[in-house]
Structure 1
Amino acid sequence: MAVCSPPIALAFPCLSPAKFSLNSCTLEMKFWGKRRNRVITLAASSPNSSYNVERKRKVVEHLCLLRANEDLSDEQEKDMLDNLYTSQYHMAGIVAISLGRTSDQNPENYTHGVFMRFHKKEDLAKYYQNTSYLRVLKEYVSPYCHDLLYVDFEAEVEDDILAIFRKGEEFNYGVEFVLLIKFNEGALDGPAEDALTSLANLAFEFPSLIVQSTQGRNFNLESKEYTHAIVTRFRSVEAQKIFMDSSEYNHIWESKLLPIILQTLSFHFLVAPVGTELM
C-alpha cells in the first residue's frame, strides 16, 4: 500500500490505490459579526492543566452528513440549517449541536454536516422518533436533500458541566473537525483501538490547540460505511494545521492507522456564537 498523508486542514489529502480512499471537505457556518484572531503555540499540557481530569462522563455523539440538491437556494439552506439548529430547544436530551456547509467539492458530494451530543443512547433513540425532529426532517431537510448518512458513537468527556455541554468561551470559536474511519475487520478489536488510543492521548497533551476530542465505534446499523468516528474541536484553523502537520500526529497516522484503514472521510467547519458571522 502506498503511503498517504493524514487529513490536513484546508487541503485535499492524496489518494492511495483503490483499497484505501481519503476524502475531505470544508464546512463553514454563517452568522453575524466578526471572527476573533487567536495566538496558538504548540505546548504540551502541564501537570496543573485543567484538562488533566480523571473523572469522565459518557456521552453519545451523533453525526449526520447531507447531500443537498444542486438547486438549493440560499433561503432554503438557511431554513434547513436554522430548523436543525433550533431543534435542540424543542427536544429533550440534546446536549450540544453544531452544523455547517461544505465549501469545497468532495468525491462523496456531501454538502452539509450536523453534530449533536446526547446524554445517553436512550435519548438518541427518542430523538430519531421525536415528532418535532420528524417534522423538521419532512419539511426542511427531505425536500432539499437527496441522501443522508448517520454515524452514532459513545464517547467519554471530562465530568465537567462546560465540557459536557460544550459551553463557555473555549467553545465559542474554532474549527469542528470530523474524521470517519473504516478499519479492516481483523483490526477492530486490537490494532484499531490501540491507534485510536494513541490519537486520543496525543490530543489530550495539547490543550493549547485542542478544546475537546471524542471518539468511538459506530453503533448505527444503517451506516456500515464507517466503523469509527472522531470529533475534535480545534481552537482555530491555525491550531488544526499545526497539530496535523506535527511529527507526532503523522507518526501515529503512518505507523498505526494507514496499515489497517480501508477508507476515511474527513470534514471540518468554522464555528462561532449564535448571532455573529465569521468574516
Structure 2
Amino acid sequence: MAVKGSNRKRSVVHLKCKAPKFAWYLNERRWFFPVHPFLSCDKPLSLIEEAERKAAENGFCDAMLKLWHLYFYLYLSSFPPNLSIFSRKIVEHVCLLKAKHDLSEEEENDMLGYLYTTQYQMGGVVAISLGRISSPNPERYTHALFMRFQKKENLEKFYENPFYMKVLKDYVMTYCHGLTNVDYESEVADEMLSIFRKGEEFNHGVEFVLLISFNEDALGNQAEHALASLASMMLESPSLIVQFTHGLNLSPSSKEYTHGVVIRFRSVEAFEIFINSKEYKNVWHSKFQPIVHKSFSLHFSVDPVGTEIM
C-alpha cells in the first residue's frame, strides 16, 4: 500500500506494529486513553467516526481499520463498570491565608464558616474544603481554602461577587495579614461523585496542596513530563489517593507559582505512606528538583460535612 508523505508512512508502520498493544497516550490532565496512531482526537466516543474520515483521506485499507476497531472495543470492555474513562474540565481555586498569631477560636470559626458559606451565595461552585494547615511551614501560612468551579467564567464572577468581597473584607483580612491565590484548569472523571467530590470517599481524609514554580526554560515539555510522571505514580496508588488534579496557574493576582497540584488522600496514614515513599522521592528528585525554582507544600485534615450532592 503506497502512502505519500513521511508522517503517513510512519503512521502505517506504527499501526501495523503497535495496534494490538495500543498506542498509549498520557495527557497531564487525563487518564490513559487508547489513541489511534493517525488521530488527533482523544475522546473515545468520537474516535470511530474520525477514524473513518481520516482513513478515507489517507488511503488506509478497510481491513486495517476494522482491526483497530476490534481492539478498541475490546479495550473499552476491559474497564470495570464503575470506572469512567471520560473526563470533564473543571477549574480549581486554592487560597492560602496567613492569620494573625493571636487569632481566637471564635474568630477562626467565623472566618472559616463565612468562607464555607460562599458556595451557597453564587453559581458554579461544585466543591469546597478548607481548614487549618496541619504543620508549621516556612511561608507561615496558617489556613487553606480549596474550591472547585464548573468553568473559568464562574471563577471570574466569584472574585467579583459582592458577598465574597464582603467576607474577604470583614472576616478574612480582618484576621489575616496575607493571602495567596492559585487557580488552574484540570480534568476529572465525568461522573457526579468525582466532579462534586461527594460520597463516602470524599467525606474525610487529607487535602494535600503542592505549589510549584518551574524554571522558565523548563516550562513546556520538561514541566509537562515531570507532572505526567507524578500523575502516573498517583494512578498506581488508588488505595492511598481518592483524586488528584494539577495545572498551569491562571491567577492574575499571584504569579509566584507556575503550577498547582491538589491531592485528596484517604487518610493521614495514606498521606504519610505516599509522601515518605521511595517512589515519590525518586520522582521528585529526578523529575522535579532539576527544573524547579521554588516549591511549597501543605496539608490539612478534612472533616465529615455530609454526603448529599448540592
Same fold, TM exceeding 0.5?
yes
* Cα pair distance change 1:131/1:211, threshold 3 Å: same
Aligned counterpart for 2:263 among listed residues 225, 228, 232: 232
Aligned counterpart for 2:273 among listed residues 219, 242, 246: 242
Name the counterpart of 1:122.
153
| Structure-1 separation of matches of 2:104 and 2:223 | 41
| Structure-2 separation of matches of 1:62 and 1:216 | 11
Within the alignment, does 1:144 sit opposite 2:175 as a pair? yes
Between 102-111 and 211-220, the greater mean CA deviation after superposition = 102-111
**Does the Cα contact within 8 Å between 2:134 and 2:301 map onto a contact in 1?**
no
| Structure-1 separation of matches of 2:218 and 2:83 | 30
Greater per-residue helix proportion: 2
Consecutive unaligned residues of structure 2, counting only runs of 5 or more, are 1-77
**Does the Cα contact within 8 Å between 1:181 and 1:265 map onto a contact in 2?**
yes
| Structure-2 separation of matches of 1:180 and 1:211 | 19
Within the alignment, does 1:101 sit opposite 2:101 as a pair? no
Matches within 5 A, 1:166-205: 166-205=197-236
Q: How many residues align?
A: 229
Aligned counterpart for 1:256 among listed residues 287, 292, 297: 287
| Structure-2 separation of matches of 1:169 and 1:100 | 19
| Structure-2 separation of matches of 1:83 and 1:244 | 32
Greater length-normalized contact order (CA 8 Å, ≥ 6 residues apart): 1
| Residue-by-residue CA offset, 1:131-174 (whole Å, 9 max, x unaligned) | 11011111111111111110000000000110000000000011
* Cα pair distance change 1:50/1:195, threshold 3 Å: farther
- Aligned-pair distance for 1:104? 2.8
Matches within 5 A, 1:5-154: 48=79, 52-154=83-185
- Aligned-pair distance for 1:247? 2.6
SS of the aligned residue for 2:260 comes to strand
- Aligned-pair distance for 1:227? 0.4
| Structure-1 separation of matches of 2:227 and 2:170 | 38
**Does the Cα contact within 8 Å between 1:57 and 1:159 map onto a contact in 2?**
yes
**Does the Cα contact within 8 Å between 1:51 and 1:204 map onto a contact in 2?**
no
- Aligned-pair distance for 1:52? 4.9
- Aligned-pair distance for 1:103? 4.0
Name the counterpart of 1:217.
248
| Structure-2 separation of matches of 1:181 and 1:68 | 23
Within the alignment, does 1:269 sit opposite 2:300 as a pair? yes
**Does the Cα contact within 8 Å between 1:183 and 1:261 map onto a contact in 2?**
yes
**Does the Cα contact within 8 Å between 1:51 and 1:207 map onto a contact in 2?**
no
- Aligned-pair distance for 1:50? 6.7
Name the counterpart of 1:157.
188
* Cα pair distance change 1:215/1:51, threshold 3 Å: farther
Within the alignment, does 1:207 sit opposite 2:242 as a pair? no
Consecutive unaligned residues of structure 1, counting only runs of 5 or more, are 1-46
- Aligned-pair distance for 1:124? 0.2
**Does the Cα contact within 8 Å between 1:173 and 1:236 map onto a contact in 2?**
yes
| Structure-1 separation of matches of 2:182 and 2:250 | 7
| Structure-2 separation of matches of 1:50 and 1:132 | 42
| Structure-2 separation of matches of 1:204 and 1:49 | 15
| Residue-by-residue CA offset, 1:194-219 (whole Å, 9 max, x unaligned) | 01011112111221110000000101
User: Which one has the largest radius of gyration?
Assistant: 2
| Residue-by-residue CA offset, 1:77-98 (whole Å, 9 max, x unaligned) | 1000000011111111111000
| Structure-1 separation of matches of 2:289 and 2:80 | 32
SS of the aligned residue for 2:297 comes to strand
